[in-house]
């Protein structure tokens, strides 16, 4: 096991733990913060790919496109599964924007996310056996996670526009 493989394992374990925790806990939804995580992950992924010394071939690009499309689909599905509930009182973020609802994707969202990870590992094993090596790097992992988060948050943002404001529902009641 080389240092790059060890770094990828650590990165995956940290992302799985962090995103798994966030899937199952209620979190205030601030529209302005929805795009922060996908943007950070995408930038880190692109920088990591650009700094890598592995040549990117046609098979690498094809596998990356397949993984990103899969991540977008699963992310959109996770956004559709998310539950909303009104906050007892608005939560104001650092930038002054208030959140009036909170959301969580729950265990089904976590299961979808775990399925995406397993499929990604399977695709990586198959792609590596066929000669694609750039897709196994941390940069691609970060870009796939960014695509998943972006699709999930896009669906959440679209659904937020159709929700009644906080207080219109009975406190503690979850909304779909």
**Which residue stretches of the chain have pLDDT < 50?**
166-173
Cα 107 to the center of its chain, rounded Å: 15
- From residue 78, give the alpha-carbon distance in Å to each of 8, 86, 115: 24, 19, 12
Q: Torsion over CA of 92, 98, 101 and 105, rounded to 10 degrees?
A: -80
pLDDT at 172: 47
pLDDT at 128: 85
Q: What is the token pair recorded at 28? A: 């205030």
CA distance 53 to 39: 24
pTM of the model: 0.79
pLDDT at 75: 95
pLDDT at 108: 92
CA distance 38 to 98: 21
- From residue 124, give the alpha-carbon distance in Å to each of 67, 68, 121, 140, 149: 9, 13, 5, 10, 20
Residues 49-91 have pLDDT tens digits of 888 777 778 888 888 899 999 999 999 999 999 999 988 877 7
């Amino acid at each position: 096991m080389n240092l790059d493989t060890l770094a990828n394992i650590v990165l995956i374990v940290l992302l799985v733990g962090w995103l798994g925790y966030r899937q199952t806990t209620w979190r205030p939804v601030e529209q302005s913060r929805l795009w922060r995580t996908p943007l950070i992950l995408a930038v880190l992924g692109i920088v990591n790919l650009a700094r890598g010394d592995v040549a990117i071939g046609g098979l690498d690009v094809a596998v990356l496109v397949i993984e990103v499309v899969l991540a977008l689909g699963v992310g959109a599905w996770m956004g559709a599964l998310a539950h909303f509930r009104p906050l007892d009182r608005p939560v104001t973020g650092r930038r002054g924007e208030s959140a009036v609802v909170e959301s969580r994707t729950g265990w089904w969202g976590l299961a979808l996310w775990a399925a995406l990870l397993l499929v990604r590992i399977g695709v990586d094993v198959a792609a590596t056996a066929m000669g694609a090596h750039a897709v196994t790097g941390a940069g691609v992992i970060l870009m796939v996670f960014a695509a998943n988060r972006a699709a999930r948050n896009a669906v959440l943002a679209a659904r937020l526009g159709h929700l009644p404001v906080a207080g219109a529902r009975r406190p503690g009641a979850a909304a779909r």
